[in-house]
Structure 1
């Protein structure tokens, strides 16, 4: 890599020394700012938990006991495939849809595969109360677009999936010819679903997921799946309505799941059950069952045993681990500093809204009302969600196994999820653990959440200058605030309800600006493919708003250093990834590739040009009339 000028490729220039030497771990598809931080935290916590065998904290003890079971590969190897055999026998015993419907309630509560999803969540138009949601079944390939004719990566991936599943089926006792036929039938059923499932781009439009329907009409529509019986067995009450996220799928479900196609459907149930549960069995099954996901991501190896055990336990007890991490490693000084930064950023945002020259007074006032209602969560939640009190591990000393505990936990989680239907929405509940290197905005709660794990270098450090911190965590904070006003968030009011609070002329202008952001990113070449501007528009709007607000905040400090601000912005996005992973993200991720998040956004800001003396002949130069500014 020759020396790259900041004026020609800012992202590469800032990160070129790192890009030369960084190596992707064999068990990972990528490395970089976020991923390196995840690795660091994982290692710290794994070391802690290795030393901490016993604790007075009951919830943490249940995590430690479950982690110990996951890490005990000697016992897992001794048990072999035996734990999954009752599940397989259960699927094989079903001969028709009548028998399937008879046991469907128990099937759903067991977390076994179904050609639809059911969940209870806040009603998008009445977020103080819960509603029942019906979702489409999931596909084997990452997105419906993979099923289009001529998609070469789909053919390669399905060949890998077929080989993996034939191996797994033979390991659990299927004859080779039966295993091959079963996988072929399962893939035929999977392909039949694809035309009626939303693509990632379609699913990124939140408002179109809200399609309420009288429950009685939904039940009457479905002739082959007995939802009447299912709902009577799994729900505490029968609600008046159900919210259908993908109506076209459920309009077709009778044609997809019926006795004429039962053999294919049953094959799909078998294949999905074995795929989903093989990772909880012995080492051989764990290794084989990771082949397809590794082909998707380009990872060379499966995760090491101890790391995979930790991830299983973390996935089940994320808030418990987050509570430990937050209380031990996130200090009161950092919490106060970040909270002050969030409040300052909200103040900057309010000022920018007050100065906004394209909103009418009515819409501007309502935007400020929404901003002032924004909830702020920093570090870790004060209390752990009540569900974790019910995840009581039967330890190895009491003859507990990883598989049986997992099955019990899933049943508990599913049962509790449906029980929420009659309970008020817990607006204080976090959707991710404090040990997660991420942040989020919840449109339905109108809250921004910054877990402790992201609140460290390069995003944030008391040792970094204020400008560097604003280019890191400051931009992340303002990014999440901006989600309240992106093309999705803007459709929700200050209480998180799906409700139009815009004047018509303002909304039209906002859509025009959003289209400009789509155009700016759409078609950019990356990893032998192109960026989808529509898929990534909400994140690009949030990046643009976040960076410009953080820049204004940085300029308000006495020690302002705009070079440090922009350099840290490019630093947090550094990433080296496999070609397969980059292409996967281009198809399904609502975020643009990291290099473009760094480069395209700074091209929209006049201060970038003056800070680095970018001239019209430089590759980073973008003509003023092409620059996109929304917030």
Structure 2
């Protein structure tokens, strides 16, 4: 769920999240937030924590999987289900100083990080053979952890790249330099991944129009801030961020010994502001019909003049590619025009700063501290840089994630967990099939197509069937910056190598140690990494009601992504094609718009509402996912009644299991960024989707007059 899910949240390749830079990703998490009582109003979390923070209490999940100590039974479920389930935890938990948000996903991610550290350090101390995966893992981590060596080298590792930029004298050379920075590090169907600090983003995946082949998708990029609104919206908060961003750029240039840093910084910010002016809004980038624009390579120069496309694509390793899918055509045209029109020197300054910014984690402490001061404190609200070993674990995982995942699965994913999860998936898929059969509003023709698509759904549990080969990755002990650069290029070449080859439908897009889940509409596949298959989401020995409410709702969520506002536009083969009757499509859209209206009323901050249109896909997946999981739980009981445990009925425990996984607290800067750019609603409102389910009203006796009560005709039913 970097969907805390795919898309479950903040990322389709649905993930729970993403960010505009390495440091923003390292300092911020995209997870639901803490808020007091019921909608629509809630107060922001303070952006500055107490000077000395107490350790956050660790939940104890009791005899059947619910952290009852974290509940607040003084709150009526019908007034604020979120606070009823999580109120005491919310009141007592402080966001750790090195985090911009904190919740169940974060807690599990921290545990996965500790486990991963043990795996890496064991590899580092094992005296493994030269060239082995274990040796590479150990050398990657050790190189990053050797601060003394990094300090001694200063900016020397980056100097060759800065010299190449300084030597640019023409627009052809500029275009080639821009092309050399291209990486396949965006996911167009995850809204958090659309903006990149590189001029353009590349996504290599199945072709919308023929899913048996790969296609290269080109996306808008070029921004150092998370979204175009940070540059264009005229309010005091964004104005302050822009001012601090300009100061940050000047400081980074100065640290690298670049002269006239203040003037260069002004020009860079103005250039990025011009780029932002041609960017598409987040909602538009989710409209797959608008974004499906195949362009022959021969048309690039005519439709998007300014950039020297021959030089750009040649340097990017795409010189032989004959066709591209352009995600935001007008943005590409506008960005290309700027390459041809803005002074070459301004572009050189731009390239220089972003080269320094990308290298900052591997440079001396002054660069690290300045990068955190802006990306961590200003953009995310974090108060303290994460410990170096945690950053080292992330960086090593970025380079060789599946090599770590292979060992992680051996140690931390028992076969019985996979077997139990497999059984739950089968039950939830069956429940969804029955739900399709019972839809009164859908015609038999569309039902048949929906069942056909459900029948082709691929499910991955725990880990991929085959592991990635890292034999071609060169790792040099003591070369932290070089290792990161080579790993980035290695991954880029791996993606380019897919072009022209048959699609590998077994490929995973997450590593086992990631706490997240994913749906790929083009593959019609869902993935649940090993690290999410643990409490509070899943415990093979826990009460089934809690498991179905936790991981069951996640499974349902990911299944529904194949049938949400985006997924429903792909057929059983993963092709972007209409399989709906006109009448059924209109009814489906109307239900979606009712959900948009419902979420537009939620106001996490006094001056900012949830964007119901931006979050529609995730909200559909939430409401239908929990409904399907509840159906599956009831089916799993057979004809037997559910036991009452500690005074809670089976249905109550199911909904408690759902509600507790969305515990989360945000610092205000991160919450604002999430509301602007993330396709996931904050946790309170994800949990509050239960107000659309009749079974929840029955379970807790919710009545008119309570804050969450909706008359039956206003409850949104989708799938």
TM-score w.r.t. the length of structure 1 is: 0.95
How far apart in 1 are the matches of 2:576 and 2:611? Answer: 26
What does residue 507 of structure 1 align with? 585
How far apart in 2 are the matches of 1:93 and 1:254? Answer: 21
How far apart in 2 are the matches of 1:102 and 1:591? Answer: 37
How far apart in 1 are the matches of 2:285 and 2:569? Answer: 15
Tell whether 2:160 aligns with 1:71.
no
Q: Which of 479, 487, 498 is equivalent to 1:420?
A: 498
What does residue 678 of structure 2 align with? 589
Q: 1:167: Cα distance to partner?
A: 1.7
Higher share in helix = 1
Q: Which of 61, 77, 85 is equivalent to 2:159?
A: 85
Q: Which string of whole-angstrom CA distances, capped at 9 and with x for unpartnered residues, describes residues 18-53 of structure 1? A: 112212111111111111111111122213433442
What does residue 462 of structure 2 align with? 379
Aligned residues of 1:71 and 1:310 also touching (Cα < 8 A): no
Closer/same/farther in 2, CA of residues 109 and 543 from structure 1, 3 Å limit: closer
How far apart in 2 are the matches of 1:113 and 1:592? Answer: 25
What does residue 627 of structure 1 align with? 715
How far apart in 2 are the matches of 1:420 and 1:581? Answer: 36
What does residue 5 of structure 1 align with? 76
Specify the SS of the correspondent of 2:498: helix
Q: Which of 532, 540, 548 is equivalent to 2:611?
A: 532
Closer/same/farther in 2, CA of residues 568 and 86 from structure 1, 3 Å limit: same
Tell whether 2:412 aligns with 1:329.
yes
Q: 1:302: Cα distance to partner?
A: 1.4
Q: Which string of whole-angstrom CA distances, capped at 9 and with x for unpartnered residues, describes residues 239-285 of structure 1? A: 44221111101222343112543232222112111111111112221
Q: 1:427: Cα distance to partner?
A: 1.0
**Which has the higher mean CA deviation after the structures are superposed, 371-380 or 8-17?**
8-17
How far apart in 2 are the matches of 1:67 and 1:50? Answer: 8
Closer/same/farther in 2, CA of residues 605 and 149 from structure 1, 3 Å limit: closer
Aligned residues of 1:236 and 1:422 also touching (Cα < 8 A): no
What does residue 561 of structure 2 align with? 483
**Which has the higher mean CA deviation after the structures are superposed, 590-599 or 407-416?**
407-416
Specify the SS of the correspondent of 1:371: helix
Aligned residues of 1:110 and 1:411 also touching (Cα < 8 A): no
Q: 1:87: Cα distance to partner?
A: 1.5
What does residue 312 of structure 1 align with? 395
Q: Which string of whole-angstrom CA distances, capped at 9 and with x for unpartnered residues, describes residues 67-113 of structure 1? A: 11111112111112211122122212213313324555545479997
Listed as ranges, the matches of 1:171-320 within 5 Å are 171-175=255-259, 178-232=260-314, 234-235=316-317, 238-294=320-376, 295-320=378-403
Specify the SS of the correspondent of 1:189: helix
How far apart in 2 are the matches of 1:597 and 1:103? Answer: 44
How far apart in 1 are the matches of 2:321 and 2:245? Answer: 39
CA RMSD of aligned residues (A): 2.1
What does residue 23 of structure 2 align with? none
How far apart in 2 are the matches of 1:24 and 1:476? Answer: 24
**Which has the higher mean CA deviation after the structures are superposed, 410-419 or 516-525?**
410-419
Closer/same/farther in 2, CA of residues 149 and 164 from structure 1, 3 Å limit: closer
Q: Which string of whole-angstrom CA distances, capped at 9 and with x for unpartnered residues, describes residues 438-460 of structure 1? A: 00110010001000000010001
Q: Which of 487, 493, 497 is equivalent to 1:409?
A: 487
Aligned residues of 1:110 and 1:410 also touching (Cα < 8 A): no
What does residue 597 of structure 2 align with? 519
Listed as ranges, the matches of 1:118-197 within 5 Å are 118-175=202-259, 178-197=260-279
Q: Which of 417, 436, 440 is equivalent to 2:518?
A: 440
Q: Which of 92, 100, 103 is equivalent to 1:21?
A: 92
Q: 1:232: Cα distance to partner?
A: 4.6
How far apart in 2 are the matches of 1:473 and 1:105? Answer: 42
Closer/same/farther in 2, CA of residues 471 and 118 from structure 1, 3 Å limit: closer
Aligned residues of 2:183 and 2:201 also touching (Cα < 8 A): no
Q: Which runs of 5 or more residues in structure 1 are unaligned?
A: none
Aligned residues of 2:230 and 2:242 also touching (Cα < 8 A): no
What does residue 492 of structure 1 align with? 570
Aligned residues of 2:121 and 2:138 also touching (Cα < 8 A): no
How far apart in 2 are the matches of 1:576 and 1:562? Answer: 27
**Equivalent pairs, count:** 623
Closer/same/farther in 2, CA of residues 149 and 382 from structure 1, 3 Å limit: closer
What does residue 114 of structure 2 align with? 43
Aligned residues of 2:518 and 2:527 also touching (Cα < 8 A): yes
Aligned residues of 1:536 and 1:591 also touching (Cα < 8 A): yes
How far apart in 1 are the matches of 2:89 and 2:78? Answer: 19
Specify the SS of the correspondent of 1:457: coil
Q: 1:583: Cα distance to partner?
A: 1.2
Closer/same/farther in 2, CA of residues 11 and 287 from structure 1, 3 Å limit: same
Q: Which runs of 5 or more residues in structure 2 are unaligned?
A: 1-35, 37-71, 186-195, 643-649
Q: Which string of whole-angstrom CA distances, capped at 9 and with x for unpartnered residues, describes residues 267-321 of structure 1? A: 2112111111111112221121122221111100111111111111112222222
